Amino acid sequence: MSLTCKVQVILNNLSKEKAETVKKALEPDNVNFPKGLSLYIENIDNKLVFNFEGKENMKKLIGTIDEVLEHVQVALKVIE
């Protein structure tokens, strides 16, 4: 049996400029993701939407989400 988990994290009330800057700052980290994990980021209105998907290893998924959100926090602090 194959276990797949999808997690969506939404950051609200971001200007389009901030959302785009954060998205661009994360692009280098969105390369060579571990096998079974994926991340798709999109700007929707004043939101930045992170779509994570993990297969089999949920600990890796949770760790990846935590790491990405730490990078988002740093990026937002830098651009403010």
For the chain, domain boundaries: 4-79
pLDDT reported for residue 62: 93
Residue 37's alpha-carbon distances to 20, 22, 76, in angstroms, are 23, 20, 24
Given a cut of 90, is residue 51 above it in pLDDT? yes
Which amino acid, 24? K
pLDDT at 27 over 90: no
CB crowding 6-35: b at 16 or more within 10 Å, else e:
eeeeebeebeeebbebbbebbeeeeeeeee
Q: Fold for 4-79, please state it.
A: TATA-Binding Protein (3.30.310)
Percent of the chain with pLDDT over 90: 52
Per-residue confidence (pLDDT) for residue 1, from 0 to 100: 60
- Compute the average pLDDT of residues 36-55: 92
pLDDT for res 30: 67
Name the average pLDDT for the chain. 88
